[in-house]
Each structure stands twice: as C-alpha cells, then as structure tokens.
Structure 1
C-alpha cells in the first residue's frame, strides 16, 4: 500500500505541474521570457541541474554554505532534498558511519564499503582500505560549491551509485581577495578561517586555511577540524590552462557513548589527508576537456577502543588520472568520452589489548574505466527541442570481473518547461575491505573474496522542471533504484563463513522543490522527499523529509536567513555486510529550525559582516542514534572581515 500511495502522490503532483505549464503557454506565451529579476540568494541550494545527458544533481554554493553557517559538508547538505546525514558531535565526524556521514536517497549506509563516493574536483577521496567516505577529509573551507549527484551517472562518475563532489575555490576574475572569519559559540566552540586570492593576466592563485574545535554538549563529545588548501593556475594561452591543487587536513573526534553509559564509549577517531591534483584543461569552440593526474594519502586512526579492540591504525594511498573530452563535431551534436584510471593500496595495524599487534599489508587494487556518451538536439517546432542521449562505460578491475554500464536519456524542453527521463546502470566494486576482513578480522573467510562480483544498480528517473511565473519555479522527479549483487558475509551454517553476492534492495521515491521570490528582498524554498524502501529497514532513509528556507534582506545591511527541516522516524546505524542482517535501531522524527542574522559592515568590502547564528531554535530533543542526544539551542557569534 505504501508503494501505491507514493506513486499516486508523485503522479498527481506531476500532472498538476504539467497542467500549469499548458495553461501558462496558452494564456501568456511570452510571460516567462522576461529578463531575470535580481533577488537575494536562493536559500538551501543554489539549484537543481539536469545536464544534456539527463543526469540530475543538486548544487549547494558558497553563498548557501555561508547562509547555513555550515562548518562541514554534513551541515552544508543537511537541508538538500534527498539527503540525510548522521553525526554525534557539533564539530568532527567519528568514523565514517553513524558518527558522521551523508546519505543520498537511501543510499550510502553500507559499512565497510559504501554506495556513495566522495570527490574533490572530480577525483576520489575516501578511506582507501575500508572503502567508504570520511567526511572530515573534505574541508568545507576549500569548497566553491558542493554537488550531489543523484543516481548512477556513468558519463560523469564510475564505481559508485551516487556521488558528492566538492569543487574547490579559485579566482575567476582579475583582482585580490582577503577574508578572515572569527567566531565563537556554545560549548567552547571556536572557528577561525582565512582566505586569500589573486589573479592578474594569465596567473591566478588561491589559498584557504581553517580551524574549528568544540567541547561538544556532552562529556567526550569534542572534536577538531583543521585544513589548508592552495591552488596555482596559469593560462598558457587563450584556450589552454595549467593548474596545481594541493590540500591537507588533520582532524579528530571523540565518541561520547550512550547517554549515562560511559562504558559504551569507543575512543577517538583521527583522520589526515594530503592531496595533489595537476590539471591541464582547454576550451575551444568545437571541443573542451581536461586531464587530471591525482595522488592522495591518508590516515584513519581509531584509538582507545573498548577492550579488547584497542587501536586500529590505517594508512592508504590512491593515485590515478581523469581524462574527459567533449566534441561538438556537428551542429546540435555532442560526443563525450573519457578514461578513469585508479589505483589504491593500504595497510592497517591492529593493536588489541589482549594479543600481540599485527599488520595487514593489502594488495594494490586497480580499476580502468573508459566511457563514451553522445547526445543530439532536435528542434521540433513550437519552441520545443528534444535531446536524446546514450552512453556506455566499461570497467576492468585487476581483482574482480569486468562490467558494462549503459545509460540512455531523453529531454524535451522549451523556454518554460523541461521534461526528462533517464536510465543508467551503476557499478560498485568491493574494495580492500574484503581483503582486510578475510586476512585480519575474520580469517575463516579465507579466499572467498576472490569470487565476488561488483554490486549493480539499475536507476530510473523521470521529472519535470516548470517555470510557473517570473518569480516561481517548481520541480518534481520520481525515481526507482533496483540494487543487486550486494556483497555480504554469508555466516554458518554450514561453516565456514564466506563472502557472496547475495544482497538486494529496492528504493522508490519522489522529490518536489519550489523556489519563490515574492519580492526582490525575499527568497523562499521548499523541498519534499518521499522514500519507500525494500527492505524497509534501510538506515537513514526516512519515509518523509521536508526542507524549508527563507532569505530576507530586511534592510540594505541586515539579512535574516532561516532554514528548517522535518524528518520522519527512521532506522539508523550502518547497514552491516552480513546476509539478512536487520537494522532494529530507530530514532523518532524531529523538526529543526535554525537562523542566522547578519549586519554588513559599511567600512569594509562586500562580505564583511557581524553575524549571530542560532541552531535548534525550538530546543527539540532529537538524535541520529538512540541514546546519542544532539544539543539543544546553541548560538554562535562571529565576524567576517573582507578586503577585495
């Protein structure tokens, strides 16, 4: 019955938006071709995007990050439709699961391993040995914007079912930028950031540095984030650019344990990352593309765990390349092709309290993945155009079998309406996690990991984007994900345990977003996400979530930003890699309201301000894990000083 109800609601809203489109075209055919109206920045997200291959994404920009007073990636994405988060502490993520993670449309809760991958400037950044994201190694200070890739999109990202890509900051026009932020708040929370940029002629440079720490609302709920980022660029001529990007982060978070039970604490989790990317890019009238060579190494150290676990100290290294090229070789046509090469290796040292230490030295896993996609625009009259597309990605792994990932899409659009439909296959390979578990954690697994295949996901999506007037825009999408071949441990009987591709899941859902600008000084946002999962206990996949946002420029110098969220009750904790594992832990639904009030400083450059940010204005009792209560109402007072 839940499936019928969800489908019915999606179809009704889709029909209503399409009907409104027809009325608007019939009665006022030119009404939506007015010049753009300058209003305050859109709250919550900068916008949803549908590319010419019918790939869907949501983008949170630098202005939204500031308006949300986001101190990390989770808080920047916490109101994005289709996204759920988890955390223990105000600052810092404890590990990569329920202690700090991001989930997209019900995907991403498997641990170890994960169906959602994270990227910086299009290159993979994650825990290399246990094969899942670590949010603290994605520094928010370096982000020009954060893109949430919704569903499989083989023409953009491989070896994942969904993706989060952080685009780093750079100087786009000649001039200088210098900005300092100082802030302090509840529970001895302190924030300090510094940014500087310069561009003149062919040369550009940018750097950022950030430091955050907090004691947290509970004993041992403390955390620290620190990072430094830099980019140097040089235009070789009017078409070719060369750039070098470097980043380093060093972070730590503690586990406060269940409320009233200090014996359940699981110690500290520290992460470190060093990243380098060398990029050669070009932009011509008929072609554009880039070649990126990347390298990163990181550490994930879990210390002072409850006996007998002790310490688990992990190091990893990743390197490879990203090549992509787009040819506009004929009128209306576009040919996209590229190649991803990835290598990952690592080691883990286990220091239990009741046995001698041991070290896992993993093999090097390699994945080569070429891809190609094509689209073409057809004018069909009446101001409409059709854009069919198709693509294919091939995977060659040095430890597991080869895979193919096809995709197809169709877009129909005019000046005020866009209809789209897409199918794409996602592929997600096991990582070094299956080797370390077999050799060091559950030795009876033996060599069974060698018989594993890649996980697959068939993603279907249809949607409509409709300009309902010069100040109102609506979007509705419905999607279906069919996941298969999930790799799990099949326990005895009969012995021994073994790895096998036995898991499967289904996710049906819909998203509705509305953006309104009733006045030049007021911008409003509303988002609704509905999910229906099978099995019903998929973690961090609430049946219903609602996001609301408002930005109001009260005077030329005073701005008020509000964001709110309702999340229904949901299953929580990580989805175990065990056959027929059931998630029984659940948290209640909750409503949260946050606000930020700022006053622009007239004597300095644009962006200079003093601000007061309040979280959980309604003092709601809520948690992302049972007996791990989040803070009540908290405050932060700060200043941004800018020179440009």
Structure 2
C-alpha cells in the first residue's frame, strides 16, 4: 500500500521481490493516468522522490473502501474523522485537515470554494487507478494552499485495445435485511495514437443498523439509525490523443450526484440536536491536460471548470415534516471554479531539472436561504513556483523549491433583514513558501530522506466573511496560516519479501486561525466571536509501515503516533485526531480461494475543544472469503465490524454495527 518510487519499485525490480512486498504498486503502474500526477521528481524526471504514499485500486477493492474517506484511512499518517453534525467524512494528514491538505482530481483542484472542505463520503473510489498522498514536503507545482500536503485522485488510462471491469453487491444487516447496494463499471480502449476511458458507479444505502451494544436514549432508540440514508451516482469520461511516444492531449469529464440524511445526535452530552437533510450534493469537473516535448523543455498545460451545487434543509423534528422554528431553514449553494496552470520542465543537464509553474484560480461562491436574495463572493488566487532537482552524485539528490502565492478578494456580500444586501470589504493576502530536501539512495534496497518545508494556506471565504448565523463578525483581513515541517525518513527492503518504511516528523504552525470572543461593544448582539490569526500549534509524530509475506501469508501493518499541542492555550484541545492509530491485515491465497482479515484501530480522541466530548478508542475487525473463477470472475462474502463493536469517530454519532457483504467483480 505504501510506495516511494526511488526506494520502492526500483528496489523491488532489482531484487526480484516475491508477491506481498511491492506487488500491487508494480502491477497497477501501467493503467495510471500519469499526466494527472504531481510529485517531486529526480533530475532525470523519471522517479518520484519524497515521503508520499500511494494507494492503488486493487487495495481499495481488497478492503472494500468504497468512499474516499474510508480509503484514505488505510494510508500511513492519515486518520479518518467524522463531522457528525454534518454527516461528513473527513481525514487528517499528520494532524492537518482538508482545508490544509486539499483534494485534486488528475492534478485539478476540486475542493469546495466556500470553506475548502469536501465531504469524502460523497467521493466514491470505483473509477480511480490510485490515490497519491503528499505530506508536508510536497511539490511546489501543486500550487497554493498545500499547507500540510495534498491528496491527488488519479483516474485510469487503458493499456489494451479493450479492457474493463464490472462489479456490484449487496449489504445486509444482522437480521438478514438488505439495506444497501452498489454497482460499478469501467471500460477502456487504447488504440495506440488515441484512447478512451469511461466509468459509472451507483452506491445506495437505505439505512445502517447500530450495534446491539448501543444503548438507546432520548435521541436514538437503537436498531435502524435514524435518517442514515445516502445515495451517490457518478459518471466519468476521458479521451486522449497520443500522436507520438512523448506527447499527450486529454479532455476529461466527471459528474457526481449525491443526497444524504443527517443522523441526529445520539449521545448523552448535548441538550439539543439537528434534524437536517441534504437533497443535493452535486459536483461536476471538466478539464483539459496536455504534455508536449520541446527538446530540453517539456510543457504541461491544465485548464478546468469545476462546479458545486448543494442544498441543505433544516427541520423542526425527527419526522422531517415541519419548518416553522427560527432554527429551521432551506439553504442553497451554487459555486464554481475556473482555473489554469502552465508548467515547464527544463532539463538543464543530466544532473539538473528545473520546473517552473504558474497557477490561476477563480473561486465563486453563491448562496441564499429561502426567501432571501443570493449573496455573491469571489476570490482570485495566483501562484508562481520554481522547483529544482539536482543530482549531487550518483546516489544523492538535492531538491529545492520556492513559490509566491497571492489571493485577491474581489467580491463579498452579506445579507440581513434590517440592511438588505451589503457589500463587504475585500481582502488581499500574499505568502511565500520554500523547501529543501536531501534524498540518499544508500544501495538498491535502502533510501534515506531529510527535508524542511515552509508552507502556507489562505483563509477561506467562510473564514473571512461568515456571520455564523448571527454569532460572529467577519474579518476580511485574515492572513494566511503557516507551517514549518521537518522530516527524517528511512525505507528499506528487508530480505526478499519484506519492506519497512519509517518517518519521524515535526510541524510548527503559526498564525493558526481561531475563533476569538469579542467584547460587547464590537458587536450588535453580544456575545459574539471573530476568526483571528492568534494561535500556534505543534505536531510531533512517528509513522511506521511494514509489508511482506511469511509462510504463504501476506501481511501489512502501519502505525501512526501523533502528538498535537496548542502552544497558545493548552486548555483548548486540538480535536478529531487520536494519539495512536493503526491498521493491520492478514491474507492468504489457497488455489482459487482467498481469505483475509483486517483491523482498524485507534485510541480515544477529543471531539470538542473543551474536552467534554470524547470518542473512545476502538478496534474494528473485518473478514472476507473470495473465490476466483476462470475468466476473471471473483465472488466474495464478507463481514464488516465482525464483533458488532459500538464505536464512533465523533462523540454522539455511532458507526454501523455488524454488516454482511455479498459481491462480485469481473475484470477483462
């Protein structure tokens, strides 16, 4: 599951490693849409450097990670979290959230313009060839806002004249009822000088069933989880021209449509709860990418138009049939982003590769509640980056990068019944970024890496302008957050079947955004708050990943130790990350049969800054048995949460109890 090219695939190929160590990454490399990749590369432009991780499609299907949030939870250094009050899957990458580690699709930014987030439960994984996660030290050519790294979703590129897969299945509860289903298909054709890739998926959940260990209360009586439905549909299409061995020109399209319920609070701490439903969570991405060889230069261009439509209905009660209270509303978002980037890879010599990149992005957010006018917001962001890879010797590579980012708040409006629409003050901000990394290939099996990176993130539209339902005042002059990352990494092939990857890291964050209480004289209806750059934080951590094979069994293990400290006020806790998180799996193939068991484990985590809400630690076991027929058909039966554990990522929002899966997959 973990892959760093220079010390991974190279070592695997050189040593002839057996299945279990690097098999997945090597087998799926050919069907990856490489034009969508963004990474720190060596002086020849051939191998990726840095401590990035790769999760391939085979691994996602193996562990039934159908949504992006659950898939990313397999990656070392990443932990899944839940925004329970909004029923959203989120992840933290070494303690940095999705505003600080943005989402890309084939190198195109697809995070939501308004607040920088994206509900990872709405992003299905069936069409992906792999996911790349860069941490801290990430390529400057990603562009702005990669404070803690970047997550890049790579689609497929066909390698045969005709290829594809078709799959589907059912989920069943403990009492034998079917509560969900899924179906997906991917088809591709590569005709040499052109190719086409298309896919579709449908993922539906009527409800999920709570564990028998869950004890009911006034908010939730157990059994079927109230308002826990979700439906997600996706189609994607890509066509590419490859007129020669070096050039490529591609147009891509992806449309995803989602709707979901919002299970109400089901804990013992809060005195009230939300009755919310999301009829619309839709996203469309249209993009064009190209790569042209110009001798010593390689020119890469990207252009895109990305839209986001969202509707949220807040009701008075658990019947979802009344909206008369002041807390009830109907809200709509209609956002879009336009952007383009140009990158020049300039080979100065065999030992030196210089990359220059320019990014432009226009973000437009439009929102209104029922009975109110539309409010408009617009940001324009630009970035100029330089990254140089220099081979100091045959085994030692130095990478240096710098960039300058600029954000211009072009338009912002607020609405109140007493004042109507009001134009807010715009805001401008600049930030500088720099990093340096050393990569030493000790031998064919061993790599050391050391890096320092200084990265930034601009405050979002929501950070700067949201009144937070009348409880806050805006701050258009918010500055960017900054983080300084230090990492020491080590990777080694242990014998013929094992691989070890380890990293020590530290991040110092300053100008961290925090909601600050404002004196009564500064706001019309005290008490109120304002977002300000006042906090400092520190993250220390350790990552370990060990993969291999023993006596016919494939084994995988990764562990994260994460210590996050609020240096400005240690009474205010940093939330949603456990101190300890691990994943382990054991699998074996016997003839046509495959047996596997895996475990997700995490220690407790705070889900409110005052420490009153705590989600306790857990270990959840999954198990599955599969049989592969001639012709590529795979049939599987499995159990998720085998021991029906009552657990949660956010206090008061319990996860599904024991669930059974019956499914099939045909590849051709």
Same fold (TM over 0.5): yes
Match of residue 525 from structure 2: none
Match of residue 457 from structure 2: 428
Match of residue 215 from structure 2: none
Asked whether 1:523 is paired with 2:554, we answer yes
From the superposition, tell whether residues 630 and 31 of structure 1 become closer, same or farther in structure 2 (CA, over 3 Å). Answer: closer
621-630 or 279-288, which deviates more: 279-288
Equivalents in 2 of 1:321, 1:495: separation in Å?
45
Asked whether 1:611 is paired with 2:636, we answer yes
Aligned pairs for 1:315-354 within 5 A: 315-351=334-370
Asked whether 1:253 is paired with 2:260, we answer yes
Asked whether 1:543 is paired with 2:562, we answer no
Equivalents in 2 of 1:518, 1:260: separation in Å?
44
2:375 to 337, 341, 361: 361
Match of residue 211 from structure 1: 202
Equivalents in 2 of 1:468, 1:40: separation in Å?
10
1:105–1:531 contact (8 Å) kept in structure 2: yes
From the superposition, tell whether residues 32 and 192 of structure 1 become closer, same or farther in structure 2 (CA, over 3 Å). Answer: closer
From the superposition, tell whether residues 190 and 591 of structure 1 become closer, same or farther in structure 2 (CA, over 3 Å). Answer: same
Match of residue 577 from structure 1: none
From the superposition, tell whether residues 268 and 501 of structure 1 become closer, same or farther in structure 2 (CA, over 3 Å). Answer: same
1:154–1:405 contact (8 Å) kept in structure 2: no
From the superposition, tell whether residues 332 and 490 of structure 1 become closer, same or farther in structure 2 (CA, over 3 Å). Answer: same
Aligned pairs for 1:452-467 within 5 A: 452-467=478-493
1:347–1:359 contact (8 Å) kept in structure 2: no
Query: What is the CA deviation profile of residues 72-91 of structure 1, one whole-angstrom value per residue up to 9, with x for unaligned ones?
Result: 11121222221111348xxx
Normalising by structure 1, what TM-score?
0.84
Equivalents in 2 of 1:291, 1:477: separation in Å?
34
From the superposition, tell whether residues 40 and 195 of structure 1 become closer, same or farther in structure 2 (CA, over 3 Å). Answer: farther
1:531–1:542 contact (8 Å) kept in structure 2: yes
Match of residue 124 from structure 1: 109
1:44–1:525 contact (8 Å) kept in structure 2: no
Equivalents in 2 of 1:31, 1:271: separation in Å?
42
From the superposition, tell whether residues 436 and 315 of structure 1 become closer, same or farther in structure 2 (CA, over 3 Å). Answer: farther
2:466–2:472 contact (8 Å) kept in structure 1: no
Aligned pairs for 1:137-156 within 5 A: 137-156=122-141
Match of residue 26 from structure 1: none
483-492 or 37-46, which deviates more: 37-46
Equivalents in 1 of 2:390, 2:22: separation in Å?
33
Match of residue 183 from structure 1: 169
3-state SS, counterpart of residue 491 of structure 1: strand
Match of residue 222 from structure 2: none
Match of residue 626 from structure 2: 598
Asked whether 1:237 is paired with 2:244, we answer yes
Asked whether 1:83 is paired with 2:109, we answer no
2:464–2:477 contact (8 Å) kept in structure 1: no
Query: What is the CA deviation profile of residues 391-440 of structure 1, one whole-angstrom value per residue up to 9, with x for unaligned ones?
Result: 101112113221110111111112222111111111110122135414x8
3-state SS, counterpart of residue 538 of structure 1: coil
Asked whether 1:192 is paired with 2:183, we answer yes
The Cα of 1:633 is off from its aligned counterpart by 1.6
Equivalents in 1 of 2:295, 2:581: separation in Å?
43
The Cα of 1:489 is off from its aligned counterpart by 3.5
The Cα of 1:360 is off from its aligned counterpart by 4.6
Query: What is the CA deviation profile of residues 159-200 of structure 1, one whole-angstrom value per residue up to 9, with x for unaligned ones?
Result: 1222211001121x2321232212001251101112111111
From the superposition, tell whether residues 186 and 467 of structure 1 become closer, same or farther in structure 2 (CA, over 3 Å). Answer: same
530-539 or 55-64, which deviates more: 530-539
Equivalents in 2 of 1:470, 1:289: separation in Å?
40
2:292 to 261, 282, 286: 282
2:590 to 550, 554, 558: 554
Asked whether 1:635 is paired with 2:660, we answer yes
Match of residue 59 from structure 1: 54
2:432 to 372, 382, 404: 404
Equivalents in 2 of 1:202, 1:195: separation in Å?
21
3-state SS, counterpart of residue 230 of structure 1: strand
145-154 or 221-230, which deviates more: 145-154
3-state SS, counterpart of residue 362 of structure 1: strand
Equivalents in 2 of 1:546, 1:131: separation in Å?
27
Q: CA RMSD in A?
A: 2.8
Aligned pairs for 1:489-528 within 5 A: 489-493=515-519, 495-496=521-522, 497-518=529-550, 521-528=552-559
From the superposition, tell whether residues 387 and 40 of structure 1 become closer, same or farther in structure 2 (CA, over 3 Å). Answer: closer
The Cα of 1:39 is off from its aligned counterpart by 4.7
Equivalents in 1 of 2:151, 2:626: separation in Å?
29
Equivalents in 2 of 1:629, 1:361: separation in Å?
36
3-state SS, counterpart of residue 126 of structure 2: helix
Asked whether 1:36 is paired with 2:17, we answer yes
From the superposition, tell whether residues 507 and 627 of structure 1 become closer, same or farther in structure 2 (CA, over 3 Å). Answer: same
3-state SS, counterpart of residue 165 of structure 2: strand
2:634–2:664 contact (8 Å) kept in structure 1: yes
Matched pairs, number: 579
1:372 to 370, 378, 386: 386
Normalising by structure 2, what TM-score?
0.81
The Cα of 1:286 is off from its aligned counterpart by 4.5
Equivalents in 2 of 1:601, 1:87: separation in Å?
38
The Cα of 1:373 is off from its aligned counterpart by 1.1
From the superposition, tell whether residues 358 and 486 of structure 1 become closer, same or farther in structure 2 (CA, over 3 Å). Answer: farther
274-283 or 221-230, which deviates more: 274-283
The Cα of 1:70 is off from its aligned counterpart by 1.3
Equivalents in 1 of 2:445, 2:121: separation in Å?
40
The Cα of 1:283 is off from its aligned counterpart by 5.1
2:267–2:651 contact (8 Å) kept in structure 1: no
